[in-house]
């Protein structure tokens, strides 16, 4: 299986982001917030990223956050259910450590699968 981040695995249009935000389901981590919406049956997980200038002024820092999250998504995409995800930076990290950002994102994915299995069971 390819571990690329092809266009079919991304949220690209404003309407796609708006529909995920409009679904109003979110999980908060230490620095990140994960908004999610069930995707199309038979499809795959898709990712969108929002890292604003308000929290990280330097473009190099914003790009680093996005790079870490995209990398973790690529590695875990096959394990994820068909869901549209928007990851947003919710708090300014004191110091940017790739490992801590990756752990926060993976913890959010773990909570997401726990929420989904709870709902399907009831």
Residue 120 domain-assigned (yes or no): no
Classify residue 116: in a domain, yes or no. no
Q: What CATH number is attached to the domain comprising 97?
A: 3.30.230.10
Please tell me the predicted confidence (pLDDT) of residue 6: 83
Helix axes 59-76, 98-121, angle to 10 degrees: 50
CA dihedral 21, 16, 89, 120 (to 10 degrees): 60
pLDDT at 2: 58
**Residue 73 domain flag:** yes
In a domain, 1, yes or no: no
Q: Count the domains in the chain.
A: 1
Residues of the domain holding 23: 7-102
**pTM reported for the whole predicted model:** 0.87
What string of H, E and C letters represents the secondary structure of 75-95? Answer: HHHHHCCCEEEEEEECCCCCC
Q: To the nearest 10°, the Cα dihedral for 36, 60, 102, 11?
A: 20
Per-residue pLDDT of the chain (122 residues; tens, 9 = 90+): 456 778 888 999 999 999 999 999 999 999 999 999 998 888 899 999 999 999 999 999 999 999 999 999 999 998 999 999 999 999 888 787 889 999 999 999 999 988 666 565 55
């Amino acid at each position: 299986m390819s571990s690329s981040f092809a266009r079919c695995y991304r949220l690209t249009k404003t309407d796609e982001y708006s529909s995920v935000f409009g679904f109003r389901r979110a999980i908060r981590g230490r620095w990140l917030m994960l908004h999610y919406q069930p995707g199309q049956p038979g499809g795959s997980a898709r990712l969108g990223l929002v890292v604003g200038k308000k929290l990280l002024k330097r473009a190099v820092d914003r790009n680093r956050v996005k790079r870490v999250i995209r990398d973790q998504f690529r590695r875990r995409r096959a394990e994820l259910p068909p869901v549209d995800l928007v990851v947003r930076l919710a708090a300014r990290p004191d110091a940017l450590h790739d490992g801590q950002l990756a752990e926060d994102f993976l913890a959010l994915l773990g909570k997401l699968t726990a929420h989904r299995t709870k709902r399907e069971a009831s």
